[in-house]
Structure 1
Amino acid sequence: MKRTSILFAILCAAAGLAQAQQPTQQEPAPAPQAEAAAPAKSEPIVPGSAQPGPAAEQLIVTDNKIGKGAEATVGATVYMHYTGWLYRPLAKNQRGRQFDSSLPRGEPLDFKLGSGKVIKGWDQGIVGMKVGGKRTLIIPAELAYGARAMGGIPANSALIFDVELMDVK
């Protein structure tokens, strides 16, 4: 790995903690229902006052562009560009506050797919992509960081990522 990002470090730490604390499950537990809808605008996160957004009930994978290159399979090293936001279904494009992106760094994130080095929503949502493909992943809290707050991400937050598969090795 040439460079690590804040998100990659967070993803690694979260994946390691999740594996150590919970037994592996085939089916993710359904997310709790949100009691109130999120506001239509993004709100700044003030330390100590962050509230989780509405729940996403399951991993939602949307192909925005189908790639034509090699396919991402479990065990392969994938090279991904990404941008991550808090999931806010009533906000423009369902995106709340952006918390990380590989694009300004200019170098994709690389990791071994299916090895638990990233959040479960990524390990599940990237399988089957082809190089050149672009996807949007809406990830429920259970497949992200769960009940733990992580950096600027409140506990029990659903996330949304735009990902692009740059290479597979």
Structure 2
Amino acid sequence: MSATLPTASGSFGDKPELTFPENAAPADLQVQVLEQGSGAVVEAGQTIEVDYLGQVWGGRVFDNSYDRGSSIGFPIGVGRVISGWDSGLVGQQVGSRVLLSIPPHEGYGPMGNPRAGIGGDDTLVFVVDIIGTR
């Protein structure tokens, strides 16, 4: 367990709140399993069903599925989402809660995502509850 990563409140299925450490964001992708699931292993090419909260390191929440009340599904491990999600979620087990710290080069890159208020040098932190695969 790394002291350099944010901590998340709640458990699987609860909307988390992140508490950030004083240090700067890690330069590389960090993946921390907060709650280990016991379901099937997520494989590249599957569609993964998740609830998630996304927040800029030390900044504001830019998206979360908990407030919408519906999870989302998308192909994983095939380049359809930011590379930090592909790298960090393939190989995890269904039922797991995973914290991802995603540096800009594995997030939205130097252009950021202006519509979401994400700058080109923002590190993104996600808490992802893996609900299932198909």
Name stretches of at least 5 consecutive residues in structure 1 with no aligned partner. 1-39, 41-53, 89-95
Residue in structure 2 matched with residue 116 of structure 1 by the alignment:
79
The alpha-carbon deviation at position 118 of structure 1 amounts to 0.6
Residue in structure 2 matched with residue 79 of structure 1 by the alignment:
49
* Counterparts of 2:40 and 2:51, CA distance in 1: 16
The alpha-carbon deviation at position 167 of structure 1 amounts to 0.6
The alpha-carbon deviation at position 149 of structure 1 amounts to 2.9
Percent identity for Structure 1 against Structure 2: 36
Residue 36 of structure 2 is aligned to residue 66 of structure 1: yes
SS in 2 for 1:122: helix
Q: Deviations over 1:101-148 (max 9, x none)?
A: 011112211111112111000000001111110010000000001111
Residue in structure 2 matched with residue 100 of structure 1 by the alignment:
63
Aligned counterpart for 1:159 among listed residues 92, 100, 124: 124
SS in 1 for 2:87: helix
Residue in structure 2 matched with residue 149 of structure 1 by the alignment:
112
SS in 1 for 2:111: coil
* Counterparts of 1:65 and 1:167, CA distance in 2: 15
Letter of the aligned partner of 1:118 in structure 2?
V
Residue 99 of structure 2 is aligned to residue 129 of structure 1: no
- TM-score, normalised by the number of residues in structure 2: 0.77
Name stretches of at least 5 consecutive residues in structure 2 with no aligned partner. 1-21
* Structure 1 runs (4+) greater than 4 angstroms displaced: none
Considering only CA atoms, is the larger Rg found in Structure 1 or Structure 2? Answer: 1
Letter of the aligned partner of 1:77 in structure 2?
T
SS in 2 for 1:147: helix
Residue in structure 1 matched with residue 16 of structure 2 by the alignment:
none
The alpha-carbon deviation at position 55 of structure 1 amounts to 5.1
The alpha-carbon deviation at position 157 of structure 1 amounts to 1.0
The answer (yes or no) to whether the contact 1:55–1:141 under 8 Å persists in 2 is: no
* Counterparts of 1:56 and 1:156, CA distance in 2: 12
Indicate the structure with greater strand content.
Answer: 2
The answer (yes or no) to whether the contact 1:148–1:154 under 8 Å persists in 2 is: yes
SS in 2 for 1:105: coil
